[in-house]
């Protein structure tokens, strides 16, 4: 074997385990699917799509260093590359520290080697075939001019944030905790409402504008927030379609039984890794068609990557410090200069808005639970530390409202939600009882006595007389008129024959039901019922 590796594959075989782990950490696309051996890994690493993703790791200064190196022939004379970088960067950035420029240039060379973009020993480095072309194709200048002096050098530092402000740890945590509780409550209300009234899938894709508007009105939020809630709940597996309607899934029952921190964590993780952009809802696509919520038109492959970049950028700030959207955009353009998504600025702004709404940020600053999402630790535990203690009681008021002095225990909150609506939130939550909310409980099979018994068991005060009267009066009127489904009926004066038919095994799949002495209804179509009766030796006559 020669003293120098002869190819990238040969170089990878000589790298220790730590170097290979670092390569796969920086370029996770190389292990999907798992390559058969290091030769296959090297082949995949030199493919143009993978190399372009790898170069996306370079900030504006590092990218300029890499382009300077690409303008040199192999083997790369690294000292000469660094000298050239220093010369041109010093002219463009006279205030920069000379040592810093050289250190950053060397760091870039080390990163390119860790990424597998250059390989070989330090005295005989070679750039991967194809990498040079990718770098020079995207270099500033005209007609392929790649001289480093042909463009102004970017700063070795991320742009300073003129809007940086300290929001205060206590205020950040409190604001985010309230936002997180509100987000969980709204998703819970959304799923319960869609479970009761499934939303139709429109012919084109997604849900209709009318259903989105109704959902926003029902939740008391604007349509942009409603679209975000719908997309997050869908990404979390709480809403799904059977091809005809969208409704709550079986996962919702499990999710709703968890405590608030765990519920929130499931939503936050789903949002962070989703490739769907709720901000696109209501815009026009390339065919000038209005983009619908839950449609394929809201999918954007770069969505999760940009969200992660935004949170990572906020994490570089001191704790409980915030910057405005313009500064985030400027810093991300420096940190990821190769990103050319036409919606980049809008996606960044949407991300900041949704992160604030979800409680991942508070007053614009990244929260402890936001940092936990990034580092893979328990976001639920981080949020739990900032939540007020759960309570197991309410305080009834004479005006048909009830006050929960803190977040209710999940089972208690779920039961109360069947009979009262949230009127306001904050340090305490105000619930309002109304005919509409109490009818919801009665429709679910609860009787007046059960409703009043539950309210009495969780209230620290006696049930006000107006609430007792409202429940009793509504219970009297409830179910006075009954609705059912029937597709055919049998009418016969011979009640004994109808008794026989109701008990017949052949008719049980049609669910025969006696509604009068001489009338039976079934869930089968008349033609099918007629055929079955003929098979039983009967000869009914069709009416109408």
131-145, 231-245, 454-468: least confident range: 131-145
Confidence of residue 88 (pLDDT cuts 50, 70, 90): confident
User: 261: which DSSP letter?
Assistant: H
Q: Residue 471: name the closest of 444, 445, 451 by CA.
A: 451
Average pLDDT over residues 454-478: 91
CA distance 436 to 238: 25
In this structure, are residues 174 and 386 in contact, taking their beta carbons and an 8 Å threshold? Answer: yes
Provide, rounded to the nearest whole percent, the portion of the chain with pLDDT above 70. 96
Please state, in angstroms and rounded to a whole number, the distance separating the CA atoms of residues 466 and 390: 28
Whole-angstrom distance, CA of residue 126 vs CA of residue 457: 76
Residue by residue, DSSP assigns 282-344 as: TSB-TTSPBPPTTSGGGB-TTHHHHHHHHHHHHHTSPTTEE--HHHHHHHHHHH-TT---TTH
Bridge partners, 119 (sequence order): 126
Residues in Cβ contact with 362 at an 8 Å cutoff, skipping those fewer than 6 apart: 167, 171, 172, 173, 174, 175, 176, 177, 179, 356
pLDDT-derived band at 480, boundaries 50, 70, 90 = low
Can you tell me the distance from the alpha carbon of 108 to that of 273, in angstroms, rounded to the nearest whole number?
Answer: 29
> In which band, very low, low, confident or very high, does the pLDDT at 151 lie, cut at 50, 70 and 90?
low
Tokens in use for 421? 């609506």
Q: Is the pLDDT of residue 1 over 50?
A: no
Task: Bin 295: left if φ > 0, else alpha if -120 < ψ < 50, else beta.
Answer: beta
Least confident of 259-263, 356-360, 361-365, 535-539: 535-539
Across residues 60-82, what is the average pLDDT?
A: 92
CA 199 – CA 246 distance, rounded (Å):
5
- For residues 381-401, one letter each, b for 16 or more C-beta atoms within 10 angstroms of the residue's C-beta and e for the rest, the string is ebbbebbeeebebbebbeebb
Given pLDDT bands bounded at 50, 70 and 90, which one contains residue 307? very high
Q: H/E element holding 110?
A: helix 98-114
Contact 245, 237 (CB under 8 A): no
- Mean pLDDT of all residues in 185-214: 92
Q: What is the pLDDT of residues 272-290, one digit of tens each?
A: 999 999 999 999 887 888 9
Q: Which residues contact 178 (CB under 8 A, 6 or more apart)?
A: 359, 425, 426
pLDDT in tens, 375-408: 988 999 999 988 888 889 999 999 999 999 988 8
What gap in Å lies between CA 529 and CA 544, rounded to an integer?
Answer: 16
Q: What is the pLDDT of residue 172?
A: 96
The answer on pLDDT for 91 being more than 90 is no
- pLDDT in the model for residue 2: 54
| Segment 146-156 mean pLDDT | 64
Predicted local confidence at residue 406, as pLDDT: 84
- Residue with the bigger pLDDT between 80 and 481: it is 80
In whole angstroms, what is the distance from residue 280 CA to residue 349 CA?
A: 12
Contact 41, 28 (CB under 8 A): no
Cβ neighbours of residue 169 under 8 Å, at least 6 residues apart?
Answer: 319, 320
Residue 138 scores a pLDDT above 70:
no
Distance CA 506, CA 209 (A): 46
The H or E element containing residue 526 is helix 526-535
Mean pLDDT of the chain: 89
Contact 127, 66 (CB under 8 A): no
The whole-angstrom separation of Cα 534 and Cα 506 is 11
Q: What is the pLDDT of residue 453?
A: 93
Q: How far is CA 445 from CA 417, 448, 471, in A?
A: 15, 10, 14
Could you give the CA distance from residue 466 to residue 481 in angstroms, rounded to a whole number? 25
């Amino acid at each position: 074997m020669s003293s120098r590796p002869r190819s990238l594959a040969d170089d990878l075989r000589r790298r220790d385990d730590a170097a290979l782990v670092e390569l796969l950490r920086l370029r996770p696309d190389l292990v999907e699917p798992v390559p058969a051996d290091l030769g296959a890994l090297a082949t995949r690493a030199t493919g143009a799509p993978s190399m372009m993703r790898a170069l996306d790791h370079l900030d504006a200064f590092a990218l300029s260093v890499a382009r300077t190196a690409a303008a040199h022939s192999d083997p790369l004379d690294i000292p000469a590359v660094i000298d050239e970088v220093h010369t041109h960067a010093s002219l463009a950035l006279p205030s920069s520290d000379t040592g810093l420029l050289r250190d950053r240039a060397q760091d870039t060379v080390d990163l390119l080697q860790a990424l597998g973009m250059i390989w070989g020993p330090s005295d005989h480095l070679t750039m991967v075939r194809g990498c040079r072309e990718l770098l020079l194709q995207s270099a500033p200048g005209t007609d392929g001019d790649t001289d480093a002096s042909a463009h102004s050098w970017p700063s070795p530092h991320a742009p300073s944030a003129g809007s940086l402000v300290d929001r205060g740890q206590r205020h950040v945590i409190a604001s985010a905790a309230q936002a997180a509780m509100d987000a969980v409550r709204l998703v819970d209300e959304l799923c319960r409402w869609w479970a009761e009234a499934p939303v139709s899938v429109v012919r084109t894709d997604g849900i209709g504008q009318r259903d989105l508007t109704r959902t926003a009105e029902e939740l008391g939020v604007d349509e942009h927030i409603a679209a975000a809630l719908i997309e997050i709940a869908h990404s979390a597996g709480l809403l799904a379609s059977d091809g005809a309607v969208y409704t709550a899934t079986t996962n919702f029952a499990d999710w709703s039984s968890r405590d608030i921190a765990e519920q929130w964590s499931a939503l936050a993780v789903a949002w962070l890794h989703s490739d769907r952009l709720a901000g696109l809802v209501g815009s026009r696509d390339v065919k000038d068609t209005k983009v619908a919520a839950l449609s394929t038109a809201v999918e954007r492959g770069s969505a999760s990557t940009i969200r992660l970049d935004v949170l990572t950028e906020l994490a570089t700030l001191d704790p409980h410090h915030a910057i405005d959207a313009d500064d985030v955009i400027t810093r991300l353009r420096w940190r990821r200069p190769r990103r050319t998504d036409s919606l980049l600025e809008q996606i960044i702004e949407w991300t900041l808005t949704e992160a604030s709404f979800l409680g991942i940020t508070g007053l614009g600053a990244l929260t402890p639970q936001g940092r936990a999402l990034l580092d893979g630790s328990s976001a639920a535990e981080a949020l739990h530390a900032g939540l007020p203690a759960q309570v197991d009681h309410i305080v009834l008021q004479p005006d048909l409202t009830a006050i929960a002095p803190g977040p209710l225990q999940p089972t208690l909150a779920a039961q109360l939600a069947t009979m009262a609506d949230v009127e306001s939130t904050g340090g305490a939550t105000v619930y309002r009882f109304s005919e509409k909310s109490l009818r919801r409980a009665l429709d679910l099979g609860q009787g007046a006595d059960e409703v009043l018994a539950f309210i009495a068991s969780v209230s620290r005060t006696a049930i006000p007389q107006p609430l007792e009267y409202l429940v009793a009066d509504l219970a009297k009127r409830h179910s006075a008129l009954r609705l059912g489904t029937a597709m055919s009926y049998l009418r016969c004066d011979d009640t004994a024959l109808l008794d026989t038919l109701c008990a017949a095994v052949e008719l049980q799949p049609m669910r025969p039901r006696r509604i009068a002495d001489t009338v039976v209804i079934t869930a089968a179509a008349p033609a099918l019922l007629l055929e079955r009766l003929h098979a039983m030796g009967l000869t009914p006559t069709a009416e109408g």
